[in-house]
Structure 1
Amino acid sequence: MNSNTFSTLNRDLLLNQLEEETFDILVIGGGITGSGIALDAITRGLKVALVERYDFASGTSSRSGKLIHGGLKYLQNFDIPVVKETGRERDIVYKNARHLVYPIKMNFPIIKKESYNLVTLKAGLTLYDRLAGVKKEERHTIYGKKNTLENEPLFNSKLVQGSGVYVEYRTDDSRLTMEVAKTAAEKGATILNYAEMTDFLKDANNQVKGIVVKDHIDNKTITIRAKHIVNAAGPWVDKVREKDRPVTGKYMVLAKGIHIVFDYHSLPVNSSIYFQHKGRMIAVIPVGNRTYVGSTESLYTENMDNIMVNKSEVEYLLGCLHDMFPTLNLNIHDVISSWAGIRPLIGEDGKSPSELSRHDEIFESDTGLITIAGGKLTGYRKMAERILQYIEKKEKKAITPSKTDHIKLSGAQFNSAEDITSLTTLLHGRYIELNLAEEEIYQYVLRYGSNTEKLLQTISEYNAKDLNLEERNILAELAYTIDNEMVASLSDFYDRRTSYLLFDLDKVKRSLEIITSEMSTILRWDNKKREEENRAMQYLIKRTLSFKD
């Protein structure tokens, strides 16, 4: 056994640490919010634990629009503080995770009978540039109709009146979440996935002092004790609160959104596009040889652990695309993958649905359970800071700022895009015997960052086996993610660590048999476990293209 604190092979060690130590802060939930809290807390010198009932980012944090928004849409509601904070946070996330967060040109067309015209869009983008502290080279440009149609010939010339082009940032949301959690672990936090909180422990004064946890890998049950317990379970926060006491006052209202994926040749836009359709915002984002589109939004009251894409939702997005790009004639058979997610909005007893809050909020029960809910991917760092400051205030300590604004995440030891290119070239030369194209290594660097050499070393170990190059590479990638990124299931690997499930379904199908066999060997699965995993993965593959009527 190695000493890696983020290895599935070290679960016994982590379980012992969780049970034997008493923590300053225990976080329930391994999404971006909970992971961010763990990182902020450990950098303040606190003893920190985090448990996640499934995998990191297995809920909302892997099913977003995969954009680090600068807060432009909040301008419509004149939410100036949010625009300021979100714009600045976007820049911090970019600096601290440069291999996972990329600036992209976003084309915002002005559409007849929608909210914006050339004057209001110019005013809005100018104000946004100033409030969000946008760098000079990334400030917006306004185009008239002629230049707009030259920039994007696919636009509907009868609808589009002009456009504004500004910079947004695209990310891999699930990897960003995982790297935040991993960075916290590298700094000393004790973090474990597949560890479900099943009950609270309370002292004689009815104050929460710990939790009971079921380990879903080895079916063990442990108890963890902590001074403060933070419920950061995203859409599931009320499920956690119910184990403490009945939920009153503020409660979660769930909003569902879906995205659909096309082969790039089916939707060959020249750049990313953010357009209004009957008041709703729709994003069209090209990523390599794919283009994804979203999102819908509707209230959701069904099973949170099995969120299906409805056929009507796909048809709605196809209708939006047809209006914007009428020459493409896209239909449901052109969709090659999809995903659905939910985000928690905050409702309150006595308030109407129109008063739902989209901001993050903190509330505490009389037993001392601290809950944080709401918020956005971009604002995870500030949410963490607010929780830690809340705890400082509770302990009557001096309120201190977060230190995470200058902490680079695991794998993010870069200061510029040029550093990423330089590392790619260096690794290509150093591992020339692996017969990897420079572009292949570049894609690995965009996924694993400055940790990529560890992956290439693992590929070297598999090089002597009787495998074709694709089999060798993906088996090594699996082994690397088990030992360095806490992969414990097929879906961890195919979905949240590599996104092959969302963007390369054929690769999943080609490799599933050998990946299942290799995981069975490394993790010592018996035949029953192997069959369970295979069935679960087959279901996920089917679900990406099965739309509920």
Structure 2
Amino acid sequence: MPEARLFSSNQRVEILEQMEKTPFDLLVVGGGITGSGIALDAATRGFKVGLIEKNDFASGTSSRSGKLIHGGLKYLKQGDLALVKEVGRERAIVHENARHLVIPIQMLFPIVKNGSFNKFTLKIGLSVYDRLAGVKKEERHFMLSKKEVFAQEPLINRDTVKGGGMYIEYRTDDSRLTLEVAKTAFEHGALISNYAEMVEFLQDENGQAIGVVVLDHASQRTFKLYAKFIVNAGGPWVDKIRRMEGELQGKRLHLTKGIHIVVPFERFPVKESIYYDVKGRMIAVVPRDGCTYIGSTENDYLGSLDDIRVSQSEVDYLLDCVNLMFPSVELKQADIISTWAGLRPLIHEEGKAAGHLSRKDEIFISESGLITIAGGKLTGYRKMAERVVNLVQRKGGFPAVPSKTETVKLTGGRFDNGEQLKQCIGSIARDRRYPGMDAETASDLVFKYGSNAGKVLDYLEDMDTKSLIAAEVRFCIEQEMAMKLSDFFLRRTGRLLFKRKDIPALLEAAASEFARVLGWDGEQAQKEKVQFNEEYAHALQFI
């Protein structure tokens, strides 16, 4: 490995070569939030850890969530108090370790006629929620009268709403949260690579899984990686991975699909986030980055895992949900500026519909020793990781070291309090290395890259053009393992979701910097742009 151990696309092959030489204690297959969390937990306990991801980090479910660190309020209806307690308490921990990515927001919960909650049950529910989740005194809920709800949110349907409650949730950038967890695991010694696909299991003479064959999609080289324990954290792909290792037995996944639509804020100018009930289905309306996004649907899914599209019927459903609760907005399909669709890998329960399946995670162990974790929620990733590593620790006879991740700040989250975050934004705003720097641009950089935002500007030092987009691209390639244009525009910066209209003006500069740093020739650069333009178009193509 080079002396400068960077999480760099240009060091991926060297990382994979080192992985081939390393006898791992634990090898994780899957670079979503669950797999990345397992790698971080294990690395901070002193395990020799490897992680491989067949596409980009967070390219599956972990970039397609509702982008909320939920306390699990809706699971009170299902009586799942343990889940509410766990994920509710986890919110504060994830916020503390990544203040730039996990941001407290006010959430209005209106009481609607014939809805799941009335004034009494919502009050009880929010009170239980506050207690179970250990909510800080200043963040506890308060109830609103009908008049107060309309004063708080004038757009809401006056014929439907009878009152409401206000409580705190946390908004996040799920892709960047996953990436920061993976980067932090790397900082603690884990060996990690994206675009490295597990294509075959290696077994000993007793049929026990002892390693995997990995195909590097960039170099087309294969590598053999060996480990005492292999963890399948493939999200929607976990059953596919289980079938590669042997016949699928026992519990299996139940995939459900959710979509979100994004509209300009001026077309749907809500004053705060809103979480409301439509015919038993909870819908979130969340303002961010000059937009408002709405989601989500929940339907059984049996299609391709690698090509998940938004359907016309799903779009129509969400538009109807909005226009029922906010009739004066009159939102139309033409207002939509972007969308995303993702899968929830839930555990199948016979006879239960998609909306009633548990969000609990479960661990399966196959006859070959493959450990699989499935289910769960973004919010609970740290506890899921802890349970997996505890299991490996027991089964492998490793020293009993407790999880340390409760106090491990993520790479961009090196802030002790909110004031330090504000000071970082002020410092970047005053930085004169970028001529066009202002408070809005500085804030945008810090809420993406956190305490690493200054490193983006460091790249401007040797750039004649002083192009901020080129500096971001170079940072994301050399310190965040970005390999493709979609890695950058979608998962590193979120522009494809929330600033899609800006991309045409930025694409050529971004592609040129990718070509320069990664050594793309003209043919490769054109191929990458074509691939990205297809993804760009898919955001507004409905099947």
TM-score bin (small chain): over 0.9
CA deviations on 1:438-491 (whole Å, 9 max, x unpaired) are 2211110111011111111113332x22x6xxxx11111001110000000011
1:164 deviation in Å?
A: 0.2
Give, in whole Å, the separation in 2 of the partners of 1:353 and 1:144: 36
Q: In structure 2, what is the equivalent of residue 191 of structure 1?
A: 192
CA deviations on 1:43-75 (whole Å, 9 max, x unpaired) are 111100000000000000000000000121111
Give the unaligned 5+ runs of structure 2.
Answer: none
CA deviations on 1:156-198 (whole Å, 9 max, x unpaired) are 0000111100000000000000000000001100000000000
1:445 and 2:461 are equivalent in the alignment: no
Give the unaligned 5+ runs of structure 1.
Answer: none
1:261-410 equivalent positions in 2, closer than 5 A: 261-347=262-348, 351-354=350-353, 356-396=357-397, 400-410=401-411
Letter in 1 for 2:402: P
SS in 2 for 1:116: coil
Letter in 2 for 1:369: L
CA contact (8 A) 1:4 1:484 kept: no
CA contact (8 A) 2:433 2:457 kept: no
Q: In structure 2, what is the equivalent of residue 47 of structure 1?
A: 48
Letter in 2 for 1:376: K
SS in 1 for 2:35: helix
Mark the CA change 1:219 to 1:398 in structure 2 (over 3 Å): closer, same or farther: closer
Q: In structure 2, what is the equivalent of residue 478 of structure 1?
A: 473
Letter in 2 for 1:82: L
Give, in whole Å, the separation in 1 of the partners of 2:41 and 2:271: 39
1:490 and 2:468 are equivalent in the alignment: no
CA contact (8 A) 2:45 2:402 kept: no
1:29 deviation in Å?
A: 0.2
1:504-543 equivalent positions in 2, closer than 5 A: 504-543=499-538
Q: In structure 2, what is the equivalent of residue 5 of structure 1?
A: 6
Give, in whole Å, the separation in 1 of the partners of 2:499 and 2:524: 25
1:53-202 equivalent positions in 2, closer than 5 A: 53-202=54-203
Give, in whole Å, the separation in 2 of the partners of 1:61 and 1:95: 20
Letter in 2 for 1:540: E
CA contact (8 A) 2:256 2:298 kept: yes
Moved more, 395-404 or 293-302: 395-404
1:396 deviation in Å?
A: 4.6
Give, in whole Å, the separation in 2 of the partners of 1:478 and 1:396: 44
> How many residues are treated as equivalent by the alignment?
540
1:501 deviation in Å?
A: 0.5
CA deviations on 1:3-37 (whole Å, 9 max, x unpaired) are 23310111222011111111000000000000000
SS in 1 for 2:348: strand
CA deviations on 1:60-114 (whole Å, 9 max, x unpaired) are 0000000000121111112111111111111100000111000000000000111
Moved more, 524-533 or 30-39: 524-533
Give, in whole Å, the separation in 2 of the partners of 1:317 and 1:460: 46
SS in 2 for 1:250: coil
Moved more, 515-524 or 401-410: 515-524
CA contact (8 A) 1:211 1:224 kept: yes
Give, in whole Å, the separation in 2 of the partners of 1:353 and 1:82: 18
Letter in 2 for 1:111: V
Mark the CA change 1:432 to 1:217 in structure 2 (over 3 Å): closer, same or farther: closer
CA contact (8 A) 2:97 2:410 kept: yes
Give, in whole Å, the separation in 1 of the partners of 2:272 and 2:383: 30
CA deviations on 1:229-271 (whole Å, 9 max, x unpaired) are 0000000001111110011111111100000000000000000
SS in 2 for 1:157: coil
CA contact (8 A) 2:52 2:194 kept: yes
Give, in whole Å, the separation in 2 of the partners of 1:57 and 1:389: 24
SS in 1 for 2:130: helix
Q: In structure 2, what is the equivalent of residue 255 of structure 1?
A: 256
TM-score, normalisation: structure 1: 0.96
CA contact (8 A) 2:433 2:461 kept: no
Give, in whole Å, the separation in 2 of the partners of 1:408 and 1:143: 36
Q: In structure 2, what is the equivalent of residue 215 of structure 1?
A: 216
1:399 deviation in Å?
A: 5.3
1:288 deviation in Å?
A: 2.6
1:433 deviation in Å?
A: 5.8
1:502 and 2:497 are equivalent in the alignment: yes
Give, in whole Å, the separation in 2 of the partners of 1:5 and 1:243: 33
SS in 1 for 2:168: strand
CA contact (8 A) 2:274 2:284 kept: yes
Moved more, 71-80 or 490-499: 71-80
Aligned-residue CA RMSD (Å): 1.4
Moved more, 246-255 or 397-406: 397-406
Give, in whole Å, the separation in 2 of the partners of 1:499 and 1:453: 19
Deviation beyond 6 Å, 4+ runs, structure 1: none
Give, in whole Å, the separation in 2 of the partners of 1:413 and 1:395: 33
1:396-475 equivalent positions in 2, closer than 5 A: 396=397, 400-431=401-432, 434-462=435-463, 464-465=464-465, 472-475=467-470
CA contact (8 A) 1:346 1:357 kept: yes
SS in 2 for 1:83: helix
1:356 deviation in Å?
A: 4.4
